[in-house]
Structure 1
């Protein structure tokens, strides 16, 4: 579990986060949504330990980040997996090389142990025959699966995803959503996903945090988001005609 307690983050005179309090449970897909400029990226970087808030605290299973020593912070970061928006694979490395990289950097495992672990995670993301291919030789959806494999190869307690469906067609995006949710539940990981994709919200939003202007405007589940009367949330969620129709159908069913 990650507990966020009244965090504030500023850059110069610009206050980006203005006192956000929430918690993310393990074994669930926790989504962070909001318009551009709402503070989502800064919030995620605070969770990753890349930014440290001026006020408030972030606790990881009872460990308050600001109270940890340098070595303890380093150890905590090794418990984190990250899926970047553009996958961020090394073009000069094969799929196998990309996934092996964290093990080589941060563990003392033998080559056979690393190979076994890489084989296991590539199998889990359905990339059994892609070991020796380069990123340029595989599709965008396959690149995302490689990024997920790399993120979980260290068996993290916390998984962070920044727009994991960016650039994917709708069908592939759903497959990636389902994969992330399955892995979250199987490994009992605390997963936090920054997204603009409302399909993701509706499909896997077991917990949704909506930020607006650096504040927590609303939080709840993908079922509860249909029921809210919060104007900022409804304006964001139902900005497309499709979701306006979905909401109208929900209201009519209730009546």
Structure 2
């Protein structure tokens, strides 16, 4: 579990995060949503340890990040997996090489041990025949699965995903959502997803944090979000015709 207590983050005179308190539960897909400029990206960078809040604390299973030594912080970061918005694969490396990269950087495993682990995670994301291909030779959805494999190859306790469905067609986006949720539950990972995809909210939003102007405006589940009367949330979520219809169906069922 990740516990966030009253964190504030500013850049010059811009007060971006204004006292956020929440928890991200282990074994669940925790989503951060909100409009552009709401503070989502800064928030997830604070969770990753890339930014340090001026006020407040972030703790990982009881360990407060700012109270750890530099070596302890480094060890904690090695327990974090990251799926970047654009997959961020190395074009000059094969699929296998991309996934093996963290093992080569941060472990002392033998080549055969590393290859066994790479084979295992690639099989887990349904890429058993892509080892020797390069990123340019595979689809966007396959690239995303390689990025997920690389993120979990170090047995992370915490998994962070920044817009994992960006640039994907709706069918592939659903497959990626399902894969992330399956891995989260299977390995009991604390997963945090920064997204604007309302289909993700509806399908895998076990816990949702809605940010507005640097504040936590609302939190709940994908079932509760259809029941809320919070105007900021409803304006954001029901901006599409699809979700207006879902909302209307819920109201009719309740009546």
TM-score, normalised to structure 1, is 1.00
Distance in 1 (alpha carbons) for counterparts of 2:64 and 2:211:
23
Aligned Cα root-mean-square deviation (Å)? 0.3
Q: Deviations over 1:17-75 (max 9, x none)?
A: 00000001110000000000000000000000000000000000000001000000000
Aligned to 1:107: 107
- Superposed, 1:21-100 pairs within 5 Å as 21-100=21-100
How many pairs does the alignment contain? 255
Distance in 1 (alpha carbons) for counterparts of 2:86 and 2:25:
26
Post-superposition shift, 1:168?
Answer: 0.2
Post-superposition shift, 1:241?
Answer: 1.0
Post-superposition shift, 1:187?
Answer: 0.4
| Partner SS state of residue 156, structure 2 | coil
**Counterpart check, 1:212 vs 2:233:** no
Post-superposition shift, 1:139?
Answer: 0.2
Q: Deviations over 1:193-217 (max 9, x none)?
A: 0000000000000000000000000
Aligned to 2:20: 20
Q: Deviations over 1:73-95 (max 9, x none)?
A: 00000000000000000000000
| Partner SS state of residue 18, structure 2 | strand
- Superposed, 1:66-215 pairs within 5 Å as 66-215=66-215
Distance in 2 (alpha carbons) for counterparts of 1:14 and 1:157:
32
Aligned structure 1 segments of 4 or more residues deviating by more than 6 angstroms: none
Q: What 5-or-longer segments of structure 2 have no aligned partner?
A: none
**Counterpart check, 1:8 vs 2:11:** no
Aligned to 1:237: 237
Q: What 5-or-longer segments of structure 1 have no aligned partner?
A: none
Distance in 1 (alpha carbons) for counterparts of 2:245 and 2:145:
32
Distance in 2 (alpha carbons) for counterparts of 1:60 and 1:243:
34
Distance in 2 (alpha carbons) for counterparts of 1:98 and 1:240:
37
Post-superposition shift, 1:242?
Answer: 1.1
Distance in 2 (alpha carbons) for counterparts of 1:138 and 1:6:
43
Q: Deviations over 1:159-189 (max 9, x none)?
A: 0000000000000000000000000000000
| Partner SS state of residue 155, structure 2 | coil
Distance in 2 (alpha carbons) for counterparts of 1:163 and 1:47:
15
